[in-house]
A and B are shown apart, each in its own frame.
Chain A
């Protein structure tokens, strides 16, 4: 498996339900970010969590980070049809690692049914 794997690959829920998606990574990170991509569009930055943080909130989004397990989760509460999109995690390498390569996960395709 490669850095930045997400599960599930696809998720279908009813409007109003919560959606949880997970991201696992392999190497040390400076921070982890979640992005949303609507079909055929560019990515929109949702939230960033640093390696020394465990949880972060932004509106209906809640992100957790467990560096011991090298995993993160994104929770979207009270989902709406407009949340239908693909969600990607991306890891930024540690400062001084010699690389600037952000690594994106494979994505979770979320479909929210009205």
Chain B
């Protein structure tokens, strides 16, 4: 059973370009979280999605950032017109369908390290 997969693992973009980060959750998981981690810091929540729905995007910057989790295919975090400050590690985590609203355990992917030059 493959774990959470993210690609690419490393991504270099020039200022102004678009970055698309992909996350394939574990098989059977329909909940995805995206986090951003700056060097020497903890993870900052960005967005929580279920299939075809954005449930909580309170951590997403209002501009240039968007996320989706279509019925088929991976979850995508899209950053338009990247700036140097977007350089960070972006992690996604997935959780199985649960009976409670709060999902207990998240399984993390290896992350995508975005460098904006």
**Interface, chain A (partner B; CB < 8 A):** 4, 30-31, 33, 35, 41-45, 48, 88, 90, 92-96, 99-107
Contacts and interface: CB of A to CB of B under 8 A. Distances in A.
Contacts of B48: 100-101
Contacts of B106: 45, 102
B102 interface: yes
Interface of B: 4, 33, 35, 41-45, 48, 55-56, 58-59, 91, 93, 100-111
Contact of B43 (A44, A48, A88, A93): A88
Given A44-B108, A100-B48, A104-B45, 10 more contacts: A31-B102, A42-B109, A42-B110, A45-B108, A92-B104, A95-B101, A101-B48, A102-B33, A103-B45, A105-B42
Contacts of A99: 56, 58
B65 to A, nearest CB: 16
